[in-house]
Structure 1
């Protein structure tokens, strides 16, 4: 079998609520979901979710190749962009193609991807992560009802701008999850919004009232010395890694003892996750995939010995996407269909209308100018915001934001 073609599609995820973090939020709750499809000379197709960045430029590295050579083709894609580098957005395109290759490998074998990857148990534990920073306090119980019904016992909360508000919301959300366990796992995600001492003061103040399992991305992703300082200064673990685009970027953090929970972005692909998990395992550290309401990387999480919990951001599926899994007992029960369990209804996708995109100029993927430079953490409320210091997303205003 040989890879003969590539096509890209974009569908949408309707969250039914505002979604975002300390950096901003999408008020309409509709985001785009890029898909890639690899075609073969025998009619089988492989599906990847995550990014279209540079896929056309990278595709020649795998065109005409046997898709079962997943590891070799992954390295071939990295080598293909050797001069310009594989970091940043390009890494997302490589990750989407990598997912599609693994999907084909499992389909050729006639088995679900988790089995191809060597997993024994198809259940993968997870935690709730609703990107809920713009949701009013009195709507939190209704927001999390679906996760409670499905047995989830841990939850990650977005925050970092308003200590009083974060304390109140963390306590309230902890009470909601006590419906399933006396001692819920509670995490806070600051999305790189603090400086070093500010982070230590803020987390220490929180820990006077809330036992945090981890604090995620308290500092910039590359600040190994600062992250290590925080890890030594607070009780909570430091979780980071979702925005690192390449295995080599983890080395300074691991060498400095700067990360307690090693994360990997789901959109960066299966091979990347497997390699990150192996490196983390060599240092007796747990690994956790971040992002996505539906990710083929979950199959890889089932196969590694040091997986902690996956992030489940939504209970639904993107438009025109059918997923072969169940959300039960606080995690994901992966299905038995061959491949990664993702099937597309391309007619439905073609009929879909993208109302708003995730990477808007005012959305959570754009770092505010004063992030990490606020003497008083909470700023003035953004227009239309229900939380201090937040900015709602707005339609794109310049063609270079996409």
Structure 2
């Protein structure tokens, strides 16, 4: 087998279509770190969403562990990268850098073998249920209605909105969203850790009166005792979800052992790429709980089809905009589901370099 000949990393920053905020953060742009690997006449790519400085770490620290190695030995390369980032910490930015490279390795391997990634791993389903995700706290009522209502009209049967920045306004916003989507669409809320424990329980009671069935990060995902308490005492019709900030196996295991969630989330752009994402999904299966992917739907689709515990994934507004702009082959949902094009190898994506060029910053 030919060795990996090159690794290139580039940075793209895309402005949001309007100012955005959630319960704890505000932003006006999203940055993608793109890794491309060449071997055996094929090009594999992977990415993460992070600060531009991540590119330098990939180039200086991880690239020497990848170039010159067998592209089919994804586990060997993954382990070498894990060892290399020990002193930086097996989490945070270092883990996101590893994730971007691992994601590219899986795409390259599947393309060399001329297989869709889901066929390489082994599928258990043919399509992935998703929920439309946005409804930012910076939106006016009209913008909220238009976005969530538009998803409902397009056939999405689950949608999610942000809450928590102005707790006193949240119930009004939930009522507005419910009116826009009708009674037959599932409504989810995400506080991004903005509430405290008692506040979360009070809000959960109010939200369920308007058919909210998913409450994501009511308190910080680091507050496992708080999440457990909320899970135990919130109305039984509402699922408590968290895990998007998990970077390694120990994080997910701890969250599951503490009984902190009804639904575990993981993000392959953070948790060790496809390798770490599959491990998190298998841990979830062992605890007999549903599993969900966080953001980056074009990256997660194939791997999610290979996990018994998979329940639903996030069709996130910001990442969908970027993935549709940058990649040929980015799938759009039909009747609430994403279904891969099995005629295309790897993730089924081709990078549109010319379209991405105006947003390149490094």
Q: TM-score, normalised by structure 1?
A: 0.80
Deviation, 1:93, is 0.7
2:58 to 48, 55, 58: 55
Shift of 1:158: 0.3
Write the distance in 1 (CA, Å) between the matches of 2:135 and 2:143.
Answer: 13
Q: Whole-Å Cα distance in 1 between the matches of residues 81 and 214 of structure 2?
A: 34
> What's the C-alpha RMSD, in Å, of the aligned pairs?
2.2
Give the Cα–Cα distance (whole angstroms) in 1 for the partners of residues 58 and 90 of structure 2: 12
Give the Cα–Cα distance (whole angstroms) in 2 for the partners of residues 271 and 221 of structure 1.
Answer: 22
- Residue pair 1:131, 1:313 contacting (<8 A) in 2 also: no
Pairing 1:165–2:157 present: no
Asked if the contact 1:324–1:335 (Cα under 8 Å) also holds between the matched residues in 2, the reply is no
Aligned counterpart, 2:142: 138
Out of 57-66 and 141-150, give the one that drifted further: 141-150
Residue among 284, 306, 311 paired with 2:309: 306
1:344 Cα offset (Å): 1.3
Quote the Cα distance in structure 1 between the aligned partners of 2:87 and 2:33. 26
Mapping of 1:368-379 within 5 angstroms? none
Kindly provide the CA deviation profile for residues 285-330 of structure 1, in whole angstroms up to 9, marking residues without a partner as x.
01101123x4322211111111111100125344433234232111
Cα distance between partner residues in 2 of 1:266 and 1:330: 21
The 5 Å alignment of 1:262-277 reads 262-268=264-270, 269-277=273-281
Say which of 345, 349, 353 aligns to 1:346. 353
Bigger shift: residues 97-106 or 342-351: 342-351
Identify unmatched segments of 5+ residues in structure 1: 355-401
Distance 1:316 1:161, change over 3 A: closer
CA change 1:122–1:61 in 2 (3 A) is same
1:260 aligns with 2:237: no
Q: Which has the higher contact order (CA 8 A, sep 6+)?
A: 1
CA deviation profile, 1:48-100 (whole Å, cap 9, x unmatched)? 02153531212222222212222332222112222332211111111111110
Count of residue pairs brought into register by the alignment: 347
Measured in 1, the distance between the counterparts of 2:255 and 2:354 equals: 45
Alpha-carbon contact 1:125-1:332 (below 8 Å) kept? yes
Secondary structure at the aligned position of 1:248 is classed as helix
Is 1:225–2:225 an aligned residue pair? yes
Separation of aligned partners in 2, 1:218 and 1:205:
13
| CA distance in structure 2 between the aligned counterparts of 1:85 and 1:139, rounded to whole angstroms | 40
1:330 maps onto 2:331 in alignment: no
SS at match of 2:188: strand
Which SS does the other structure have where 2:350 is aligned? strand
Post-superposition CA distance 1:194-253 (Å, at most 9, x none): 22223223323433x233222111222222212111111102221111001111112222
Tell me the residue number matched to 1:359: none
User: For residues 120 and 201 of structure 1, do their structure 2 counterparts lie closer, same or farther at Cα, with a shift above 3 Å needed?
Assistant: closer
Give the C-alpha shift of residue 278 in structure 1. Answer: 0.3
Superposition pairs of residues 175-254 of structure 1, within 5 angstroms: 175-178=179-182, 182-207=183-208, 209-235=209-235, 236-254=238-256
Q: Deviations over 1:162-203 (max 9, x none)?
A: 34421122122223222xxx4322211111112222322332
Q: Distance in 2 between matches of 1:325 and 1:120?
A: 19
TM-score, normalization: structure 2?
0.88
The answer (yes or no) to whether the contact 2:124–2:308 under 8 Å persists in 1 is no
Correspondence for 1:34: 33
Question: Could you tell me how far 1:112 is from its partner in structure 2?
Answer: 1.3
Between the aligned partners of 2:306 and 2:68, the Cα distance in structure 1 is 29
Q: Is the 8 A contact 2:38 2:108 kept in 1?
A: no
Distance between the aligned counterparts of 1:195 and 1:174, measured in 2? 24
Question: Hey, which of these two has a bigger chunk of helix by percent?
Answer: 2
